[in-house]
Structure 1
Amino acid sequence: MKSKQRILSALRGKEVDRIPWSPNLAYWWEAQNDEFTAGGEIEFLKSIGADPLIRGHYPYYGKEWRDIILYRTEYKSCSIKEIKGSSSKTIVYDTPKGNISAVYRYSPSGNTWYLAEHPVKEEKDFKILAYLFEDMVIRPYYELYDEAAKKWGDDALLVPIVAPSPNLKTSFQSLLEYWVGTEELVYALADYPEIVEEALESMKKVSLKTAEISAQSDAEAFISWEDTSTTNISPDLYERYILPEINDWCRILHNYGKLYIQHACGHLKALIPLMAKSDIDCIESISPPPTGNIELWQARKVLPERIALIGGIEPTVFLESDIDKLEKYVTELLEKLKGSRYILANSDSCPPGISLDKFNLVSKLVKEFNK
């Protein structure tokens, strides 16, 4: 079985020759030297015997991330500009209704940019945000994906992002993480819910448009970066604002025979019962403790068999375990999840310090399991 067929078969509940093993290289890849990363992400995954499942980005050559999105976003009367300094950068969204701005700051110790100021800061900003989304024109753009998919054929499954840019997740989750912030959004919902929901409605119209355009492509499965977790959303808010949009995506994708994968890397224990009643095809990056708060086999007992699972190797366990402990841990995962729709992976991030022998060990265990 080729990797792409193995992954799709596992997602669809069809027979596989073995459990797929699809590590998410994330931060680990970025920490490798330039000579190593120039060799290519899929080439590395194939060299260790893994099944390349490329989540939301074009396969790496080097370290530059490029989202796989199957549409272009244009504006009729709005514009976006970036003002960059040595240690800060500002993203300005300019509309006829006014401007909103996001501010990022650079952390030298973390070698990363972090969001320091959300764009939407007061009631009037929600109306500016609504106008920004109403001004968007979404057009199909399949060419780059088609080239990459043709190049890799059956050796890898490339999974585009179904959600709209710039946040690549549901409308409400975008408000939580980027546009507004968790605490500020909760207050806004209490103070002027109608204004917030009007903005959400404008955002959702774009979201359904990107889903419809994406579904008409040749891609077989899609993902969104939901980062789902009760650390920043309650089950009630998830059920009210997020699940309906996800179910709308699923309805659109399923009409074209496509799959929806939800990236959910946080605390899911209180949300799994809601997900169980959704139209989601797969939950990706379920994280056991301490990163998350539920084991995969616990989630499996609550979820219907039609929902596939990806993940299981908790990041700190992957990093800190010696070879013997890791072997025992992975073998237990394989034993408890065999026979179900399951793809083995590290859950969410991959710490930079993980040694190659650990990747090779997991590949060996998967290939020898139940021989």
Structure 2
Amino acid sequence: MTLRERILSVYRGDTPDVVPYMLDLSHWFYWKHHLPWDLSIPYDQPEYALIDYHRQVGAGFYMPNMGAFYTTSFPDDIEAIVEKRQRNGVPEIVWRFTTPLGSIERARIWEEKTYAWGISQWGISSEQDLRIFARAMAGRTYAPMWDKYREWNEYVGDLGVVYLSAGYSAMGHLLNYWMGIEQTAYASVDIPGVLQETVEAVNANNLDLIDLLCQSP
């Protein structure tokens, strides 16, 4: 069996000839080869070198970390911006939502020692910020780019599969991107109603994306 056949057999509930060996080597690969990786833009082409390295070491591929297989749009009254800036000579990326309710922004800064983008600024610190977040995220619409998915899938071939990621749930966004564990925990006690409304609105929007992904190749 090929690596792809083994992985798919597990999803079908069958037993492969051996346990599938599949790894996400992206972060390690970027560090080893001193390659930049940019969270501000999606990758619209397959990461050929990364896939080739998986093939070289015999590790199944599955995770196109920054692969773009659909577009995300916002209503006309919402502006979603991603921009780069320098903080004390160090690259920093800012994500900003501007809505009729106001604006919020979060930031991540490059950390050479960990070869990663550490959080330098949380984006939500008040009830109003949370409402702005909900307004922006609940208004998203999606459109497929299945041709991009096919490019990745064809290049990976029998080496594995190409996951179609729907990203984080509402709580995932809050915990990992916009508020952090501490502020989210406080919000669950101080403003539980607003937090619940936000989570339900954003997750309902996420289901639109799930419906789209279910129609994918």
The TM-score with structure 1 as length reference comes to: 0.50
Which residue is 1:247 aligned to?
none
Cα separation, 2, equivalents of 1:27 and 1:151: 20
Which residue is 2:178 aligned to?
179
Give the drift of 1:208: 0.5
Residue type of the partner of 2:63? Answer: R
Runs of 4+ in 1 over 6 A off after TM superposition: none
Cα separation, 2, equivalents of 1:32 and 1:173: 29
Check if 1:141 corresponds to 2:145.
Answer: yes
Equivalent residues, number: 201
> Which of 1 and 2 has greater Rg?
1
2:62 is paired with a residue whose SS is strand
2:120 is paired with a residue whose SS is strand
Instruction: Please list, as runs of the form range in 1=range in 2, the aligned pairs for 1:217-256 lying within 5 A after superposition.
Output: 217-218=216-217
Which residue is 2:40 aligned to?
none
CA-to-aligned-CA distance 1:124-156 (integer Å, 9 cap, x gap): 111111110232222222110022223333332
Which residue is 2:54 aligned to?
45
Cα separation, 2, equivalents of 1:7 and 1:53: 10
Cα separation, 2, equivalents of 1:43 and 1:114: 28
CA-to-aligned-CA distance 1:263-309 (integer Å, 9 cap, x gap): xxxxxxxxxxxxxxxxxxxxxxxxxxxxxxxxxxxxxxxxxxxxxxx
Which residue is 2:39 aligned to?
none
Q: 1:2 to 1:67 in 2, by over 3 A?
A: same
2:26·2:50 contact (CA, 8 Å) conserved in 1? no
Cα separation, 1, equivalents of 2:53 and 2:70: 29
Which residue is 1:14 aligned to?
14
Residue type of the partner of 2:117? Answer: W
1:74·1:138 contact (CA, 8 Å) conserved in 2? yes
Cα separation, 1, equivalents of 2:199 and 2:34: 42
Cα separation, 1, equivalents of 2:133 and 2:48: 42
Cα separation, 2, equivalents of 1:179 and 1:30: 26
Instruction: Please list, as runs of the form range in 1=range in 2, the aligned pairs for 1:70-89 lying within 5 A after superposition.
Output: 70-76=69-75, 77-81=77-81, 82-85=83-86, 86-87=89-90, 88-89=92-93
Cα separation, 1, equivalents of 2:52 and 2:111: 32
Instruction: Please list, as runs of the form range in 1=range in 2, the aligned pairs for 1:1-371 lying within 5 A after superposition.
Output: 1-33=1-33, 40-50=49-59, 52-57=60-65, 66-68=66-68, 70-76=69-75, 77-81=77-81, 82-85=83-86, 86-87=89-90, 88-161=92-165, 163=166, 168-218=167-217
Cα separation, 2, equivalents of 1:94 and 1:39: 36
Residue type of the partner of 2:72? Answer: T
CA-to-aligned-CA distance 1:198-251 (integer Å, 9 cap, x gap): 111221122111111011101xxxxxxxxxxxxxxxxxxxxxxxxxxxxxxxxx
Q: 1:150 to 1:39 in 2, by over 3 A?
A: closer
1:138 is paired with a residue whose SS is strand
The TM-score with structure 2 as length reference comes to: 0.82
Cα separation, 1, equivalents of 2:172 and 2:95: 19
Structure 2 gap segments, 5+ residues each: 36-46
Residue type of the partner of 2:173? Answer: S
Cα separation, 2, equivalents of 1:136 and 1:23: 32
Cα separation, 2, equivalents of 1:202 and 1:56: 27
Give the drift of 1:195: 0.8
2:110 is paired with a residue whose SS is strand
CA RMSD across the alignment: 2.3
Q: 1:90 to 1:11 in 2, by over 3 A?
A: same
2:97 is paired with a residue whose SS is strand
1:10·1:16 contact (CA, 8 Å) conserved in 2? yes
Cα separation, 1, equivalents of 2:118 and 2:9: 38
Cα separation, 1, equivalents of 2:209 and 2:138: 13
Give the drift of 1:83: 4.6
Q: 1:129 to 1:55 in 2, by over 3 A?
A: same
Residue type of the partner of 2:129? Answer: D
1:127·1:195 contact (CA, 8 Å) conserved in 2? yes
Residue type of the partner of 1:214? Answer: L
Residue type of the partner of 2:56? Answer: S
Cα separation, 1, equivalents of 2:155 and 2:211: 25
